[in-house]
Structure 1
Amino acid sequence: MTNFLQFLLTGILVGGVYALIALGLVLIYKSSSVFNFAQGDLMMLGGFITWTLLAQFGLPLWASLPVALALAWVVGLLVERLALRPLIGQPILAAVMVTLALSYFFKGFTILLWSADRRVFPELVPTAPVKLGEIVLSQHLLWTFVVSVLAFGLLTIFFWRTKAGLLMRAAAEDHQVAQSMGISVKGVFALSWSIAAMVATLGGLLLGSINGVDPTLGAIGLKAFPAVLVGGLESIPGALIGGLTVGIVEGLAAGFIDPSLGEIAPFLVLLLILLFKPEGLFGLKRIERV
């Protein structure tokens, strides 16, 4: 029983990060119907930026994080304005392929600027584990989970309680109707990309503070794909549930069966869920006239 709880809780904590990455994917898809393959590498780029501020410039965390988020905001704006906006009116596949190209661009850019070496973050939280009876949990993972949940809470308030959030939700429902009501759909796209880049940067900081950051960190973003597809491409609560589900499945499979199986178990669960509920656990069925 102790082993089960150990693997379960560890999976939940790791799943919080997957959920945060999945949230960025949902934001982009809800606003533009584009599946963003560059989200993981945006996270990696954000991790390098945050490491630079912390380790090279020597800024404290309370100063580094706002600067990193502001830079991420700018990166999101530039990506939307320069790479995605020219494709408005073009087939969605064209925009999806651009996000795939951006993934390689971000990876090459970081190697050019920072090299392929792993960069270790300064100690941000105590390294001593937290013990709950016989269960041992990493303080890094605990803080990562707490920050992820807080980020979800703040973004939920933003979407449901602020004018900008309401405009984003309206535009996500129907672009043409929103535009006829005077809502700038292009502005909503830009805002979505900026928020997604900020969320990715926060994820880069959280993951980088555990094992460091290198150009392969973006590959962890692949774990967000089953998370967001399980939860539903347009569901913010689904991103949270999907991320936690992926983390739990990975933790239990790695702990009880084989560590290597933990890497593929979430994708196997994804296949099973999509066989019986293709729209995801929290996705909406749509009937379209063709």
Structure 2
Amino acid sequence: MGFFIETLFGGLMAGMLYALVALGFVLIFKASGVFNFAQGAMVLFAALAMARFSEWLPQWLGFSNMFLANALALIVSIAIMVVVAWLIERFALRKLVNQEPIALLMATLGIGYFMDGAGQLLFGSATYKIDVGMPKDPMMLFESTFEGGLLISKEDLYAALIAATLVAALSIFFQKTATGRALRAVADDHQAAQSIGIPLSRIWVIVWSVGGIVALVAGIIWGSKLGVQFSISQVALKALPVVILGGLTSVPGAIIGGLIIGAGEKLSEVYIGPFFGGGIENWFAYVLALGFLLVRPQGLFGDKIIDRV
């Protein structure tokens, strides 16, 4: 029983990180009605900015305090992602208002490839380290309850708590504030939103800025665990089954979908994987997402689309 709970807990903590990345997809989709294929590139670009500025700023400013270096690098990285959001709106999205969704979709593909190249050009292509002080040693819990106790990674626990806090804050913001309501209106109909005075350009800058900050937090967490390298953009692919499962328009769905995917892949790898020779963790999420596409395409919490003819 203890081993099962340990595996489940590890899966849930990984699922919170998947939910954090998936949240970026959901936010952009809610604002533009199109799937943002640049989200993985945004995670990588933000993580590279954080890693490199935490190295450069102490050299430029002549200090050695790592806490101060990380704090300043975080502020600079947030500012960079806001500027990136403004540039995307100014030079790409503004030109595509009221165009077909496929045009916006192709724009996000182009933005993703451009950010991959720009990240390599500006920050380099090596593997970089992010050290924000999260403890990496494990801890034992409930030793008196379960034989041998439960072995929990402190780093995973801290990462999951950070992700959960950010997801909860953004969920409240987009569900309860005027900006959140304006965002939903923009996603439903660009022209109708503009006709009632909602500034489309400002809403897009806000949501892409928030998406950039979410990408930055995800990049910092994954970079701290794995190091910042170009393969980190592939982590975003794990968020695809999450948004399919939870629903492209649902912030709570991203949370539930992430937890289901995280727990499901860990448990399936441990308990089912041996019968298939292992590796089930790599494809479990995609098979589950495929099943949902066949049965419930809008996901668990997505809006059901009804076309009347």
1:49 aligns with 49
Is residue 87 from structure 1 mapped to residue 106 from structure 2 by the alignment? no
State the distance in 2 between where 1:66 and 1:147 align: 17
Gaps of 5+ in 2: 59-67, 144-148
Cα-to-partner distance string for 1:51-78 (whole Å, 9 max, x where unaligned): 1222332444333323322221111121
Is residue 65 from structure 1 mapped to residue 74 from structure 2 by the alignment? yes
Comparing 176-185 and 138-147, the one that deviates more: 176-185
- Residue correspondences, number: 290
Is residue 270 from structure 1 mapped to residue 279 from structure 2 by the alignment? no
Residues 39-188 of structure 1 aligned to structure 2 (within 5 Å): 39-58=39-58, 59-122=68-131, 124-132=133-141, 133=143, 134-188=149-203
Q: Indicate if the aligned counterparts of 1:25 and 1:35 stay in contact, CA closer than 8 A.
A: yes
Q: Indicate if the aligned counterparts of 1:110 and 1:215 stay in contact, CA closer than 8 A.
A: no
Pairwise CA distance, 1:123: 5.2
Q: Indicate if the aligned counterparts of 2:97 and 2:190 stay in contact, CA closer than 8 A.
A: no
Q: Residue 121 of structure 1 aligns to a residue in which SS?
A: coil
Comparing 104-113 and 36-45, the one that deviates more: 104-113
Cα-to-partner distance string for 1:84-126 (whole Å, 9 max, x where unaligned): 2212233211221221222222222222233332112235122
Q: Indicate if the aligned counterparts of 2:38 and 2:108 stay in contact, CA closer than 8 A.
A: yes
State the distance in 2 between where 1:141 and 1:3 align: 17
Q: Residue 57 of structure 1 aligns to a residue in which SS?
A: helix
Pairwise CA distance, 1:179: 2.0
Cα-to-partner distance string for 1:173-212 (whole Å, 9 max, x where unaligned): 4433322211112322222111111111111011111111
1:261 aligns with 280
Larger radius of gyration: 2
Q: Residue 206 of structure 1 aligns to a residue in which SS?
A: helix
Is residue 37 from structure 1 mapped to residue 76 from structure 2 by the alignment? no
Q: Residue 130 of structure 1 aligns to a residue in which SS?
A: strand
Q: Indicate if the aligned counterparts of 2:28 and 2:35 stay in contact, CA closer than 8 A.
A: yes
Amino acid at match of 2:265: E
1:189 aligns with 204
TM-score (norm 1): 0.93
State the distance in 2 between where 1:39 and 1:156 align: 18
1:288 aligns with 307
1:7 aligns with 7
Amino acid at match of 2:214: V
State the distance in 2 between where 1:98 and 1:195 align: 19
Q: Residue 37 of structure 1 aligns to a residue in which SS?
A: coil
Q: Indicate if the aligned counterparts of 2:57 and 2:73 stay in contact, CA closer than 8 A.
A: no
State the distance in 1 between where 2:256 and 2:57 align: 37
Cα-to-partner distance string for 1:140-162 (whole Å, 9 max, x where unaligned): 11111111111112212322343
Gaps of 5+ in 1: none
Cα-to-partner distance string for 1:33-66 (whole Å, 9 max, x where unaligned): 1101110110011111111222332444333323
Q: Indicate if the aligned counterparts of 2:15 and 2:258 stay in contact, CA closer than 8 A.
A: yes
- Counting aligned pairs with the same residue, the percent is 37
State the distance in 1 between where 2:268 and 2:54 align: 35
2:229 aligns with 214
1:20 aligns with 20
Amino acid at match of 1:270: A
State the distance in 2 between where 1:148 and 1:14 align: 10
